[in-house]
Structure 1
Amino acid sequence: MSAVKIFAGNGSKELATKIANSYGKPLGNSTSKKFSDGELSFSYNETVRGCDVFIIQTTGPSDNFIELLLMIDAAKRASAKSVTCVVPYYGYARQDRKDKPRVSIAAKLMANVLQAAGADRLMTCDLHAD
């Protein structure tokens, strides 16, 4: 059984702390910073090699979604065994189907981008539709 590590994005630190405490583990040590031009940077300050990494982060506003993508990518590049995203608010969930011609299906696009970044699983709640 591999080690479980729980990390928080800036949009969900309070929830992540409660989850980690309930699980009986400390929240993982990581650094997120914003540059003067608004770009984000993320790094893990501990090893995640071979670990099951859980990332707790909401997707709204859009900076939180970008931070989530950076967290996923960093975990995969650091050889995490698996990456599970716990997303309390899944933005764009209401745009889950084509209700007229020439529109995007934003919920599917968001899921595809999370998968492309390296997420193995996504846990969320209160979606707009089944």
Structure 2
Amino acid sequence: MVAEGRQRIDKWLFFSRAVKSRSLAAKLVVAGRVRINRDKAAQASDLVKPGDVLTITLERRIFVWKVLGAGVRRGPAEEARLLYEDMSPPPAPKGEAVPDAIPALRDAGSGRPTKKERRQTNRLIGED
């Protein structure tokens, strides 16, 4: 019997609209991409309760959500947002590079020759 206020993690992820289906939620949990209070969720049947902090890794995004309640159904997005509080760090601006990355510096025209330049070189060498 399930304790009051607790819900399976796969069901909760589905109701909160983190994933499109419950089977995808189960696969996400089994793949180790969901953490409950910093511990990896081992099974889709692991339970979450209000106050738990979930770390969810989807594609290239990381979500940190605090569970506010158990879901009853997969409703509209406004209803789903009531199930969690988003504590994710703000994403880095797209135009800003990673500070550790060194940009590749190269003079214009110093790369590989174009097809036109190769033809001119071949004519000079006499391979035409």
Give the structure-1-normalised TM-score: 0.26
Q: Which has the higher contact order (CA 8 A, sep 6+)?
A: 1
| Structure with greater Cα Rg | 2
- TM-score (normalizing by structure 2): 0.26
